[in-house]
Chain A
Amino acid sequence: MSNTATHPIKNIVILGGGTAGWMTAAALSKLLIPHYTVTLIESEQIGTVGVGEATLPHLRFFNQRLGINEQEFMRETGATYKVGIEFANWGQQGQAYIHPFGDYGHKIQNIGFHHFWLKEYLSGRAHSIDDYSLPVVASLAEKFQFPSQDFNHVSSTFSYAYHIDAGRYARFLRKFSENLGAKRIEGKIIDVVQRASDGSITSLICENGQRIEGELFIDCSGFRGRLIEQVLHAGYEDWSHWLPCNRAVAVACEQNSAPLPYTKAIARDAGWQWRIPLQHRLGNGHVYCDSFVNQDQALDTLLQNLSGKPITEPNHLRFVTGKRKKAWSHNCVSIGLSSGFLEPLESTSIFLIQANIMKLLELMPRSSQMAANRDEFNRTFDNEMDRIRDFLILHYHATHREDTEFWRYCKHMSIPHSLEQKMALFKETGVIETYQHGLFLEPSWVAVYLGQKYFPKRYDPRVDNVPENTVSQLLETIRNEVSDYSDSMQSHENAIQQLLQQTSTRVETQGNNLYGNRRAV
């Protein structure tokens, strides 16, 4: 068979049935069946990582596209609402800030709010910048209300996501996919058949001898990359010199108090600990670097810092932070951990799964001639990963901590040139370089810079053209608006109770936005 022969794509095979596998199967089943067949192979003998439990608001868009009812989804997955992430001890021991799914204040005369705040801060008149962000104030007051669509009202200035039980979400999507015609095969792959002419995968052979043929393969097999790496040798770009944590241990514990509407990321001596509140339990984990702390010490740190009684056995994980050099190679697309791993500091795991699924759908090839589709997929994936990587490194590098060897390393390590430029620009001018196509935009960078007390030398000079009392009044107005509206919001606990008890008639707002609807300038 010549290299130029084309093979129409009709059969899509997904290897692996964790969150990535079933999210992929659900989307493809919903949008492509009956014109394609969708088969998922998974083995109960091979466990799933099952930790990616904190999500970003984009998941709502994914569910909407699939026609999944929010209320049903939340009941099935034991979900709580989430409007941000609290980072404790990152900039300095004893300090904490929230990275909200929303903005701080709003632009004034088209100048970023943080410049005005910086002027007030430098003159000693500023309240905490947190006071100007509704999701931060509401989070700390343990409040939750759905954002409104009145773009001129403070209630529209945030977005929300969920904390979910990822295992339950996978099971929910399995049922969803199978109802739509996706085929599940229980089995373990022992061999992979490739086309001699071009190396493309043509079939997977199961332990029981079953042969599963396809024209397009999705590798959701996790870290090992059973197809993308072990068969196609797509290569891996190791970023562990910038993101040195390489181990994690996860334990669930009892939820002894009302769940918080935000995730916690608490810096520890050689890594950080997550706390993810679900309806029925609290997810906990300790991400660490084994060059600075051993497995027993790491587990001990985690267990000592649980807020409830452990209810699962510790699950130890190893990983190398980085990305697949070619997330799509030949006729195989990697989705989930097989495409790369970024630690869950900013809840990007499920987002990246979703982003790759959506991109694949957009670029779904019709035949084996798929070079253009593949190149574009890899280009956008690389861009996304590079940008998220830089944002994650910022958390470690923009620290003032020198109290442990790990933090000294992070503070003084070399960083990617792209991040170096961004940090230098902010330090010198207070300007944040923005981009159009990326996940974390200006409000997120403001949150981390200012939250970790990484202050610039100056603010936008145009701020000085606005009379000082006008600035003070504007800031006071925003602060009052935030405070008053937060006071009027219901508690997060109530919001969840309502969800469980009532039938929702709410019209869902667009979920593909991290910050809500930005208010008019």
Chain B
Amino acid sequence: MSLQNIAIVTDTHTALNGLITALTLQDKLASLDCALSVYIEQAPESKSEYKNQHYWYLVEQDLIRIFKTLGLSEDALVKHCDGNIHFGEMHKTVQADKVNLTQKFNSRAPLGVSISGVEFHHLLVQSQQKEQTIDESLVSYSLVGQLYAQNRFMPPSHDKRSIASSVEYGIVVNAKKLQEQLTYLCDKLGISTHQSTDLKLIKQSEVTPTYSEQALGKVNFIALGSDGSAEHFPVDFVFDTRFNMADSTKDKLSQLTWTGEIECKIKGQESDGCQHDIIKLNNGLAQLIQVNKQLTIELTLRGTEQKIKDASLAEINTYLANTYSLNTESMRWQSTTKTQNMQCERLWSTNTIDLASVTATLNYLPMRRTAISDIIDLWLQFYPAKFEEASETYPILSATFNQLALKYQRNLGDFESLLLLPHAENTSKGDGEYSKCYSPSLLARINLFEHTGTDYLTEQDCIAPHAWRNLALAMSYWPKNYDPVTNNIPNVPNIISNMVQQIKAASKQAPSLSQFLSSVAKAS
């Protein structure tokens, strides 16, 4: 029997992820007769999560497409959510002398084009080794780099022969306004939304014996009222975006964990009195799942019990904000999403997908992908029928899904580490400790790139090879060697210089970004 009711369980803090999940499912299950419902647990003390107007959300191209299909156009996104264009990030690096600062652009688009089967960056490495001048900032080697530098915008061309077809961008929007738009969109599409302070959603498998008598039937979760009464929701499958509730939290492999004075709270959202909402013990180390306020924390990375350094969330926020080309003074990041690189071995257990660990920070970083969308795509490969207790189907589907999802999370975690850790290293005390926190796969990837300039191919890697390459280059991991076939390409300096000229000429055709944004704002 096919799934008929899918519930998206979320809470005030993660409601935006919940809405995105619902809309992504709406898009991808369009042909199925399947009802979607969003349940939002509302914490009484934080009725208005987005009261601060300065939380931003980066909408990637996969979501832009989904929103467009469902009726929220790109222009509307820009117009109604204070949208701005994201072409990439300029990374600043303090040199060893602690005085000079270099800047490298992490472009969303590939650098140059491949020549005779050789990727363009090899040409740059060869030129540099031959002591020819190259643009260290990398801005000159992609059209989006030039558009970024000149504050211009042009949409990508569909003509693959045109240089304008290389344009890639995301849209940074005001998170509160996006949530409003998505709530409206859900309503328009008939996705039911239930929000109340009385909703306390608990999985059936997690209820205490007191409740289990009431938790009858095949429902996956029950809602507890403020008076302790329970209501069953008839759902076939659940996507849970909350940070704390799934069984699988015990399997989470935290890579950025909290140590210190810890009062363990096993479940629920009780405050422990020191500004954290939820803390879970995991093999003696605790994970900081949610933080409401900024506070100084001591970071232990990758559960190695190796104390890295004191840092504050404010400091981390600064690192992140610096990576953006926008007005950093007005930018803040949601402090509720400070679980870094969390990985979950069992995203799918029984009939629930726990999306918390893939949404922890990723949607607020320029990951080029939307993890929610990727995980839903992966789930669709293993699309289940209705859950049956005795069936062999669910365990086998979920086991394979979880194996692949873990690989996916590792890749995404590596991308995130590469984006954050060298930056943190470069912009702070620079004691070299951060690179020690790389996972073995990230170390192998960087090692390979530094020695050969080649891509490290892994399974379930949704990050495009050029995105890995561009990020590594922007983080100053410059290959020591280049593809030897480069030596047989004649006139490499001319090729590079012609390409730069073409890129520059194309960029000058584009209107200014402000012109573009104001034209969108004026449009009806």
Contacts and interface: CB of A to CB of B under 8 A. Distances in A.
Contacts of B400: 421, 425, 431, 433
Interface in A408-452: 421, 424-425, 428-429, 431, 433-437
B444 interface: yes
A442 to B, nearest CB: 10
Given A364-B484, A434-B381, A437-B459, A425 B396 contact: yes
A502 interface: no
Contacts of B483: 361-362, 364
B448 A461 contact: no
B430 to A, nearest CB: 25
A435 B461 CA distance: 10
A429 B484 contact: no
Contacts of A461: 1-3, 383-385
Contact of A363 (B383, B397, B454, B488): B454
A462 B383 contact: yes
11 contacts: A35-B484, A110-B380, A362-B452, A372-B451, A373-B451, A421-B399, A436-B457, A437-B457, A465-B31, A465-B32, A465-B33
Interface string A275-305: 0000000000000000000000000000000
Interface string A357-374: 000011111100100110
Interface in A197-233: none
Nearest to A36: B484
B32 A462 contact: yes
B392 interface: yes
Residue with the highest number of chain A CB atoms closer than 10 Å, among B447, B459, B481: B481
Nearest to B2: A461
A325 B484 CA distance: 27
A464 B382 contact: no
B382 A429 contact: yes
A466 B2 CA distance: 11
Interface string A308-329: 0000000000000000000000
B380 to A, nearest CB: 7
Interface of A: 31-32, 35-36, 65, 109-110, 361-366, 369, 372-373, 375-376, 379-380, 421, 424-425, 428-429, 431, 433-437, 458, 460-462, 464-466
A465 B32 CA distance: 6
B248 interface: no
A435 B28 CA distance: 21
B519 interface: no
B485 interface: yes
B48 interface: no
Nearest to B116: A31
A428 B385 CA distance: 12
Interface in B418-474: 444, 447-448, 450-452, 454, 456-461
B487 A35 contact: yes
Nearest to A371: B451
A429 B457 contact: no
B284 interface: no
A139 to B, nearest CB: 29
Contacts of A380: 457
A65 B118 CA distance: 12
B382 A431 contact: yes
Nearest to B391: A428
Given A32-B487, A35-B484, A458-B385, 7 more contacts: A32-B484, A32-B485, A429-B382, A435-B459, A437-B457, A461-B383, A464-B2
Contact of B454 (A109, A376, A429, A458): A376
Contacts of A465: 2, 31-33
B393 interface: yes
A372 B452 contact: yes
A147 B451 CA distance: 40
B273 interface: no
A207 to B, nearest CB: 32
Contact of A466 (B28, B31, B384, B393): B31
Contacts of A365: 452, 481
Interface string B202-238: 0000000000000000000000000000000000000
B459 A428 contact: no
A365 B452 CA distance: 8
B117 interface: yes
A109 B380 CA distance: 11
Contacts of A460: 383
A426 B451 CA distance: 41
Contacts of A35: 484, 487-488
B345 to A, nearest CB: 16
B485 A31 contact: yes
Interface in B397-419: 397, 399-400, 404
A366 B461 contact: no
Interface in B355-408: 380-385, 392-393, 396-397, 399-400, 404
A365 B404 CA distance: 33
A369 B480 CA distance: 11
Nearest to B451: A372
Nearest to A426: B396
Contacts of A362: 452, 454, 483
Nearest to A108: B31
A38 to B, nearest CB: 12
A365 B448 CA distance: 11
Nearest to A30: B488
Contacts of B457: 380, 436-437
Contacts of A466: 31
A372 B443 CA distance: 11
Nearest to B444: A375
A361 B381 contact: no
A29 to B, nearest CB: 11
A65 B2 contact: no
A392 B103 CA distance: 51
B49 to A, nearest CB: 34
A481 B104 CA distance: 53
B484 A436 contact: no
Contacts of A437: 457-459
Nearest to B33: A465
Contact of A376 (B33, B384, B393, B456): B456
B382 A376 contact: no
Contacts of B393: 428-429, 458
Contacts of B447: 372
B468 to A, nearest CB: 14
B131 to A, nearest CB: 17
Contacts of A458: 385, 393
B460 A436 contact: yes
A31 to B, nearest CB: 5
Contacts of B383: 460-462
Given A428-B392, A433-B400, A373 B452 contact: yes
B444 A32 contact: no
Contact of B397 (A31, A376, A429): A429
Contacts of A434: 381
A65 B28 CA distance: 39
A376 B448 contact: yes
Contacts of B1: 461
Given A436-B459, A437-B459, A462-B383, A431 B397 contact: yes
Contacts of B2: 461-462, 464-465
A203 B313 CA distance: 59
A361 B448 CA distance: 14
Contacts of A366: 481, 484
A365 B481 CA distance: 8
B118 to A, nearest CB: 10
B378 to A, nearest CB: 10
B488 A65 contact: no
Given A429-B397, A462-B2, A361 B454 contact: no
Contacts of A31: 484-485, 488
Contacts of A36: 484
Nearest to B30: A109
B158 to A, nearest CB: 15
Contact of A109 (B31, B397, B461, B484): B31
